[in-house]
Structure 1
Amino acid sequence: MKLCSVDDITLPSGELIRWTLRATGPGRPSDATPSENETFHLDSVRRTGRSGWLAIAVEIPGWVQVTEITRGIRAVLDRHEILRTHFVTDAAENHQRMLLGPDAVAVEAQPGVSTLAPTDQVFAEIASGCSPFEPLGHHFAAIRTPSSTTLVCAFDHVYVDAYSLGIIASNIFDGLGGRPIAAADSFLDLRRTEQTAPPIGPDDPRLAAWGRFFTENDWQVPEFPLDLGVAPGETAPARTDVRTLLTAAQGRAFERAVHTLDARTFPALLTGLAAAVHDCGGPLELPVVIPVHLRRSHSSRRSVGWIVGNAPMTATSDGSAGSAMRTTTRRLGAALPLAEIGVTPVYTTYAAQLKTTRHDVFMASYIDYRQLKLPRVRVHHISSGRQSDTAQWWFWRDDDGIHLRARFPDTQIAADTMSRVLDALNDFLIDIPTTGGAARRTPLHPISR
């Protein structure tokens, strides 16, 4: 799996085939109410008219028959009922989820057309077609060449998170081969369980922990602490930097060294990020929001949907690298339960004290795609283009190593700053297996603040 944006991928020339998804019967109202993530997203789409989407491009060797692809698409839609839902909104801005049964969905391939430059065309069709407010508002296409078939599947963000894309890629590959798709919990059932849970009370210790985090950070919502050339209240087109931080062999050596230090891989990466920011003129302590996927049971780990909470924590670069990684590991472990309560009770409780100067929140996430046992084919996770006013980080690991996609404003200041931070991060990670985390380097790339 490779994470990228619309600017980082070129689809091959070849025969372009599209699939039409059509409702053959009426949807029925679902008793699974919109989740917090879904509600925030739907409100944003209604307010701005812009619908963020996520996509995967799966490159399969050989000339795959249209009937096989249709069967794979059909299998995924049958398995994951979230993909057969959409929302209708009333005059009071209340969102009602509607659900189509499997027998009310038609999947039809359109005649293929030859195209020399399909990339912009496909992404434009995705942007105009993916919608949370239309039945089956997804996009499926394939580009066939004599040597490969690239399948593109795109969804409005309301239906999927990053982990879902890996699940869908695995499911479609199984469906193409006629293999049964792994059992998965229904997202709607997960949502029903969530909505019947007792409300978060004012004495909930997780709510108090959020309050302590904000108190320690002067009530500031986390933002990247270095200058990226965008004034508060302004945005710029987003730019991404996608790179491999550690090869597979280097990743294994890094993991062994980190475990020897009684730390874990993701917090070690966060420590490296904190150290890199500090090396470039930032603080020793780095407050950040961590997206946490909330798939707890074995079967829910194969569930498609936006199943993510948010946890606040502070990564540290204080002391030796080893002690800093241990501290960040403990902090991350303590922070993870905070993702379970949602941000609505947090904002309800602390809204009057919170300070925010950015549209985006400084966040860093981590996914280990090895857990999904993805097929050994090229799979790209593609995000739609957008505006940006802070830095956001996606670490991921697969069979080829540990990688990073960083998104930040496309300004010269941001490009210079992020280049230095990323170089410093790379130096930190490469050093760990050699030094065993015994020392912290002197900052190499000071940036005036």
Structure 2
Amino acid sequence: MRLTNVAHLRLPFGRLLGYDVTLSRPGRELPISFDQRRHLRDGDRPGSWMALSFRLREPLPRDLLATAWLAVIERHGTLRSVFIPGADGEPRLHEVEVRPGAWVEHTIAPGQAVNDAVRDVLDRHCAPFDRPSHRLCVLETAAGPTIVIGADHAHVDMWSMLVIARDFLAALEAARSGTVAELPEAAAFAEHTLVLRGHDAAPPEVRQRWAEVIDGSGGVMPRFPLPLGSGGAQPERVEVRDVFDVADSDAFAERARGFGVSTLSLAVSAMTTATRDLAALPLRAVFPVHSRFDDTWYASVGWFITNSVLESADPDPAACAAAVREAVRLGSWPLEEVLEPWGGMPEAPGMFAISWLDLRRLPVRIDATSLEAQYVGATIRTDGVMLWFILDESGLHLRCRYPDTREAREHVGSWLDELVRLLQSAAHAERGTTAGP
């Protein structure tokens, strides 16, 4: 399944509608996680959301779509909660009851791209403090509807978007047959937040290792190793690069097995080499890891992603495998307590993050090919570099977001060129072919 940007999303032209649910007054207060609080610190702003789109193959009554969406909301507690700015400056999270509402048409202006119209709707309705901060959108065409579901990142991660799509499709199929979907309430993310608060404190060696990586990055979270230009946050540049088809993906995996490591570890080896050759520095990056530490949370929706740090100086695959294991361990402890010496996450311009998502290994699946399903990222301003690897049955592609400056185009572009060359060379070597020009 592709990870794309709303500006590049392939959408048909049709009537654009959104479903307005009805909310009760805020009820019971719920706990807020460290990462949610960090996200909310910047307040309402455009582009704080995540979305997923997919296409259905025949026209369907809107009431069936609404019924399916309400069933999803009923299953997942985080979709029945709202953030409220506190009088003391601290946000609050409260339960709400969600009831049926009404469809609203969003006008696509003359000359306006459909993508821009969808982006405007998600920017407006999926902001952190909107009530609710999620939205079901439908593009109606004669061939059938295209569904776009968005939610503020405080309530979802990429795994969660797959859960939402799967549950929506199950509820829709039940509604079409005149039955009620069997979607028992999933474990709520607020419960996970409470579990983490009761977690044991990180051992001294974990705190020490975090300190070493942050110190090696100049006292802040890891930054991209080459100049990105100055001037603060800039309009983003997004590149999507196809790295492997199925055959090359299989060859790369086989090469990794030959070294006794995972495909991720062999990819880290390539990134370590590219960083050493172009910047003469170790690879250091923020490394998101999921906190769904047992199957209690596999069917839940929430922000189950926390950050770790990855440091790799030796491109030997075994050394890179050890670096990956260390990053996973460093991310296995409550981040708020680990980062307390820095007063929270010590962010700085140029922060570099690497995300690896192997959709083949997730316990949640949809038929992404027939649905033409796509992950959708927002359009934002940025001063850092974010790299996503997406591995699925069709191969491997990567998406990279960076500030659109002359220096970033040159340096991030060169780093990506070298990284893709190294990855493809490893696959071609395994297949006994040459990498090409």
Give the TM-score category using the shorter length: 0.7 to 0.9
CA distance in 2, matches of 1:413, 1:51: 24
Comparing 62-71 with 391-400, which one deviates more in the overlay?
Answer: 62-71
Q: What's the RMSD between the two structures over aligned residues? A: 2.8
1:430 aligned to 424, 431, 435, which one?
Answer: 424
Per-residue displacement from partner, 1:358-380 (whole Å, max 9, x unpaired)?
33521101112222222232112
Determine the C-alpha separation between the residues in 2 that align with 1:311 and 1:218: 17
Provide the residue aligned with 1:36 in structure 2. 34
Question: Which residue number in structure 2 is paired with residue 326 of structure 1?
Answer: 318
Once residues 435 and 70 of structure 1 are traced to their aligned partners in structure 2, the CA distance between those partners, rounded to angstroms, is: 51
Q: Which secondary structure state, in structure 1, belongs to the residue aligned with residue 332 of structure 2?
A: helix
Structure 1 residues 241-279: Cα deviation after superposition (integer angstroms, max 9, x where no partner): 012211122212211210121111122222222223334
Q: State the alpha-carbon separation in 2 of the partners of residues 416 and 145 from structure 1.
A: 42
- Whole-angstrom CA distance in 1 between matches of 2:313 and 2:167: 39
- The aligned counterpart of 1:193 is 195
Paired residues for 1:81-230 under 5 Å: 81-101=77-97, 104-110=98-104, 117-178=113-174, 180-181=182-183, 184-198=186-200, 200=201, 204-217=204-217, 219-228=219-228, 230=229
| Deviation, structure 1 residue 118 | 2.7
Match 1:365 to one of 355, 363, 370: 355
Contact 1:84–1:135, Cα closer than 8 Å, also in 2: no
Question: Which residue of 303, 307, 315 corresponds with 1:310?
Answer: 307
In structure 2, the partner of 1:446 is none
Q: 1:315 to 1:394 in 2, by over 3 A?
A: same
**5+ unaligned residues in a row in structure 1: which ranges?**
319-323, 442-449
Whole-angstrom distance in 2 between the partners of 1:427 and 1:85: 46
Q: Residue 177 of structure 2 corresponds to which residue in structure 1?
A: none
Q: Which residue of 2 aligns with 1:248?
A: 246
How far apart are the structure 2 equivalents of 1:204 and 1:118? 52
> 287, 293, 304: which one pairs with 1:290?
287
Identity %: 22
Compared with structure 1, are the counterparts of its residues 38 and 114 closer, same or farther at alpha carbon in structure 2 (3 Å cutoff)?
closer
After TM superposition, give the deviation of residue 424 of structure 1 in Å.
1.7
Q: Aligned to 2:249, what secondary structure does the other structure show? A: helix
* Equivalent residues of 2:125, 2:132 under 8 A apart: no
**Structure 1 residue 432 displacement after superposition:** 1.6
CA distance in 2, matches of 1:204, 1:121: 51
Unpaired runs of 5+ residues, structure 2, are: 175-180
CA change 1:10–1:430 in 2 (3 A) is: closer
| Counterpart amino acid of residue 188 in structure 1 | A
CA displacement at 1:293 relative to structure 2:
0.8
Q: Structure 1 residues 147, 162: CA separation in 2 closer, same or farther (over 3 Å shift)?
A: same
1:338 to 327, 330, 333: 330
Q: Give per-residue Cα distances to partners, 1:330-381, cap 9 Å, x unaligned.
A: 11112212113344334322469x986x335211011122222222321122
Matches of 1:216 and 1:418 in 2, distance apart? 21
Q: Structure 1 residue 206: deviation in Å?
A: 1.9
CA contact (8 A) 1:18 1:142 kept: yes
How far off its partner does 1:410 sit? 0.9
8 A contact 1:211–1:350 mirrored in 2 = no
Residue deviations 1:288-329 (CA, integer Å, cap 9, x gap): 1100011122241221111111111213454xxxxx222111
> When the two structures are superposed, what TM-score results if normalisation uses the length of structure 2?
0.88
